[in-house]
Structure 1
């Protein structure tokens, strides 16, 4: 399980004296612990599945990516580099991301499916976009960044009209 892997890596980084890595791994475990507490309130069982762990890690990765962009725009290269290092460390625990070609293939398949549906063909651009995103993210969840999927969907929907 991913949770155990992160805990083991934390112990190793502490033994090796890697302060930066230790801090990032502690932060990840803290985020996972918070999610467990949140889940415990809903249904009593607090153990997170790997899918839920990946969801938490993806959110943390997204935060780092956004923060790095903001720091770059503000001229704080040092802080941007720190965020990117954290992002790199978090990505070690995420499944490999699919490329643009795979995203485009999934989007094309989903659009074809929706256009074949009589209701999908007549619906507005916004409604079709929502359907395409929902179906595509079901297939690509955890494997692709939602913003990349969104851009591909917009591009192909504009061409499909």
Structure 2
């Protein structure tokens, strides 16, 4: 039951992320930063893709992926269609990886130490949903402020 709830939240918010990226009137604005805004929507989108493909796809789903976190924040002007393609791929990766788990797996320690201490897989997956939601809100705010 918890796995299906996590999947529903990831799917909902990743689809909202795709909608946000699609809603920008100007594709160029996806990559704009201004005073007080340190990350563009495009870079936050790349960051979320890298984050989920690493921590869910690679670690839990054993999906081949090599993350370059620095590029998530330094690449610019990736076409919108490519961001959307990568988001679609991320949705599939998250779903496939979570389908390979059951609720009892959530009680196990997450295979990596990401923060300072061990944590359960369930705890870390909940963290990943809130991380996605946090950056989704930033992207929404970025779009409403700069894509006028």
Q: Which has the higher contact order (CA 8 A, sep 6+)?
A: 2
- TM-score (structure 1 length as normaliser): 0.24
Computing the radius of gyration from Cα coordinates, the structure with the larger value is: 1
Larger helix percent:
1
- TM-score (structure 2 length as normaliser): 0.26
